[in-house]
Amino acid sequence: MAWNVFKFCTALRAFGSIMIVFFLGLVGVTYYAVVVAYYGPHLFRGGFDTLIAVAFLFLFHLLLVMVLWTYATVVLTDPGGVPLNWRPLREEEKGDADPLVGLGYGIAKIGTNQSAVPGDFKNLDIGFCLKCNRLKPPRAHHCSICNRCILKMDHHCGWVANCVGALNYKSFLLF
């Protein structure tokens, strides 16, 4: 019998919350070290040291706000799940969505009088999720930790306790 690695997925959900607290603690320690311990005393020395300290603290705070903003966006934004009653459009079933197929190149089309059922999608990029028991669009994958199918899923990130998908991929890259 094979060992199921995904039976620990509930522990990974708790691990994600711990990682969020760890990241915020890391930001707090960095803030203390840079602002309070190192550049804070330079503000009161006067002269060129004060000018350098003000410029560096301005840049540090600007970058800190951007990092915290993108982190909050990745954590709080839904990655984009597959809608409950998703079905491919009739053009996708026939293959007309791809311009090369529509011009007569490539694979054969489904006839206009045929209706596609889940078994007919094998030649197309439309899959069927056995865990959700639903159709899923191309590049959608089931996340065992979130327990749902995610559009354009990249991975489930423990640092953000969320999947990286279609709606939060940009924020993840910026973070």
Active site amino acids: 157
Closest to 80 in 3D by CA, of 174, 172, 3, 15: 172
Report the greatest alpha carbon distance in the chain: 83
Check if the beta carbon of residue 160 is closer than 8 Å to that of residue 79.
Answer: no
Task: Using DSSP bridges, classify how beta strands 134-136 and 141-143 pair: parallel, antiparallel or unpaired.
Answer: unpaired
Q: What six digits make up the tokens of 149?
A: 């199918």
Q: Are 88 and 137 in contact (CB under 8 A)?
A: yes
Q: What is the DSSP letter of 112?
A: T
Phi then psi dihedrals of residue 150, to 5 deg: -115, 135
**48-76 vs 9-31: helix axis angle to the nearest 10?**
160
Half-sphere CA count of 98, side-chain side, radius 13 A: 14
